[in-house]
Homo-oligomer: A and B are copies of this chain.
Amino acid sequence: MIKFNHVFKIYEKNIKALEDINFSISKGEFVFLTGPSGAGKTTILNLLYREDIPDMGSVFVNNEDISHISDRKLPFYRRNIGFVFQDFKLLFDRTVFDNIALPLVITKTEKKFIKNKVEEYINKTGLCGKEKLTPWHLSGGEKQKVAIARAFITNPSLILADEPTGNLDDESSWEIIKMFEEVNKEGTTILFATHNKELLQKMNKRVIRLNKGKVISDESI
């Protein structure tokens, strides 16, 4: 489903964020992405989301080189992907409910359906009682939960998660991980960037290790 083919990403001032990245992920896989700070995890996820394009090489999703998606089609490409951003990217002047509902609202989904769906994910992530608050009034972990719920709500076929448990305590983390496992069982492909060693060990999934923009290992533990 996903294929990185000799991908390079070099930022201004000659910062080599990615150097010759090659890997493929099949449909339905659950893959962890790890590596020290600045290794290039977020960069890889951004390339997959077409937030950025590679300077060399190509990124294939469903056998399509996504660098060639036109601006007009881009929104529709993104709608198939759920992205839990590392910095959450929430709308600070909308309520938790509206933030989670956003991906459904922009596709003009039926109101009742939205309501049910949002309530389902508010329960799953443990945000009950916070529906009407805006992110200003949330704790760090609560914001992260909103970001996660928003990524799940459209039942996307691919979920990109950038350090989704960085601000969560162990208990919440495991509940969130359970959500990922559940949708993964139903066929959703997952690419999960994390620093959490305990998580990597306990989950026993494929792990792609990055360091300084290069893949240094790609194996199951």
Q: Which residues of A contact B (CB under 8 A)?
A: 11-13, 15, 35-39, 41-42, 86-87, 129, 132-133, 137, 139-142, 144-145, 162-163, 166-172, 195, 197-198
Contact = CB atoms under 8 A, between A and B. Distances in A.
A38 B140 CA distance: 8
A42 B140 contact: yes
A78 B163 CA distance: 31
A195 B129 CA distance: 23
Contacts of A162: 140
Q: Looking at A12, A37, A87, which has the most chain B CB atoms within 10 Å of its CB?
A: A37
A166 to B, nearest CB: 5
B172 A167 contact: no
* Copies assembled: 2
Contacts of A39: 139
Contacts of A41: 139
A87 B92 CA distance: 14
A37 to B, nearest CB: 3
A39 B38 CA distance: 30
A163 B137 contact: no
A211 to B, nearest CB: 10
A84 to B, nearest CB: 12
A89 to B, nearest CB: 12
A38 B141 contact: yes
A169 B35 CA distance: 7
A24 to B, nearest CB: 24
Nearest to A141: B37
A37 B132 contact: no
Contacts of A170: 195, 197
B140 A167 contact: no
B11 A140 contact: no
A86 B166 CA distance: 11
A171 B172 CA distance: 24
A109 B8 CA distance: 42
Contacts of A142: 37-38
